[in-house]
Amino acid sequence: MLESPAGPPPPITTAPPRAGPRVVSLIVASAMFMEQLDGTVLATALPTMARSFDADPLHMNIALTSYLLTLAMFIPASGRLADRFGSRTVFRGAIALFTLGSIACAQAPSLGFLVLARMLQGTGGALMSPVGRLVLLRVVSKAELVRAMAWLMIPATIGPILGPPVGGFIVTYLSWHWIFYINVPIGVAGIVACSLYIEEMREPSPDHFDVLGLALSGTALACLLFGIEMVTRGVGAWIGLGLIAAGGAAGALYAWHAKHCAQPVLDFRIMRIATFRLSVICGSFSRISAGAQPFLLPMMLQLGFGMSAAQSGLITFSSSIGSLLMRVAAPVLLRRLGFRNVLIWVGMIAVLLVAGIAAIRPAWPQPLIYALLVTSGFFQSLQFMAYNTIAYADVPRPRMSVATSFYTTFQQMSLTLGIAVSAAALAASLAIRGHAEPLLGDFSLAFLVVAGISALAPLISLQFDRTAGAELSGQAAAAPGSPRR
């Protein structure tokens, strides 16, 4: 268990048979696998679903957007709900909501019904990821955390690998409804495993739930995300700008509210912890490229190289293979190098590899392209895992729920911004060069832009203390004293 320096009283628990950290990691990871698989499979099936609903394929994007908006609205509430009702109860309920939403999606007779069902899914997803991480943080010691995080990410990494081929198979040989029905057995198994093996844990929570704060933060995040997407896609740009302005105003109101609320739903006071603050800031910059790559790379291969969707899919999934290989090596690398060195030097290598993708050309041998993408996936994932772990190194146990909801909110924002920034860079290159359609050079410029922004992450990581996370990695502290706060 992660202990605060003051040694707070233990949280309230009720204990069914207790599983080890590896089992708990895999239970949580299975839920994340279901969520990741669902998103990648759905993207493959959207054109077929459009024909089924007799809808414009371009309008099907709302099936993805409605899910993201619901995530933005409810993620901030996840930590407080876990404190009040118990992390096992909320996590199990989140899996149930996601599963029920999947069944509703499969039964959708129209696009409007599908949007509502996706919002139900999004409510479950908004609680599933941060509360699942909170479950893990509450059952592992600092010494076990790196290995537990590695186990956590294995099924979550496999989801994006399997998604495109599974989605293509289902749409081609079955019907699109089955892309949602496959979530049902995974969800039921997750609910049963959660009931049997995860302890109920809750922290003392305030009697008053910050409903106004949830409304303001949810409005701010939803308006900003939706507005940015509309502007960058060139669809209803003026409406998008209006939404961004409304989101900014709601955000300003929330900032004022949070200063005068004892227990705000998104508590910025958690940023006073140096390791957490640096992880949020640096992780946000580094995830710009992580959010951009799945958007840019398939289009570059299809429009710039002239590949088919199937051909590009066989190449783009190689980044996920590199990510999967990293899970095995991460504990050893972190123990040998330490968090600070990984975040600085591995982070810089990851940036250079993303910039290297801009140089890919059709004349390159395919094995070289595969090698670049696998290596890039490896170093990017090692960097993200280090950020995801070091963030909680100095967070006291009673503040874990606040930290997980805060961190997950900004994680989601930065991934979405990655798509927006890359789309804006692509549009700017088209305007400057006078191209009607994006060419290979336009994609290269967009990759260089997102790589340049992500390069800020390893530079800011220089501020990490040299001994930061030594207890987590198993590396002996180089000097006495705790990490800076």
Dist. CA 423–CA 295, nearest whole Å: 8
Residues of the chain with pLDDT under 50: 1-17, 476-485
Of 242, 280, 303, whose CA–CA distance to 439 is shortest?
303
Measure Cα distances from 199 to 11, 151, 392, 485 in Å: 11, 19, 20, 31
Q: Which residue matches tokens 């207790």? A: 18
pLDDT at 157: 64
pLDDT in tens, 352-378: 999 999 999 888 998 899 999 989 888
pLDDT at 215: 83
DSSP string for 242-283? HHHHHHHHHHHHHHHHHHT-SS-SS-GGGGGSHHHHHHHHHH
pLDDT at 44: 64
Q: Where are the alpha helices (DSSP H) in 54-140?
A: 62-74, 78-85, 87-106, 111-139
Q: Which residue matches tokens 């146990």? A: 397
N-terminal to C-terminal alpha carbon distance within the chain: 21
pLDDT at 350: 92
Dist. CA 484–CA 472, nearest whole Å: 15
pTM of the predicted structure, to 2 decimals:
0.72
Q: What is the CATH class of 266-477?
A: mainly alpha
For 15-202, CATH gives 1.20.1250.20
Q: Where are the alpha helices (DSSP H) in 300-317?
A: 309-316
Using CA atoms in the order 216, 221, 224, 226, what is the torsion angle rounded to 10 degrees? Answer: -120
Contact between residue 202 and residue 11 where contact means Cβ atoms under 8 Å apart: yes
Question: Residue 339 corresponds to which amino acid?
Answer: F
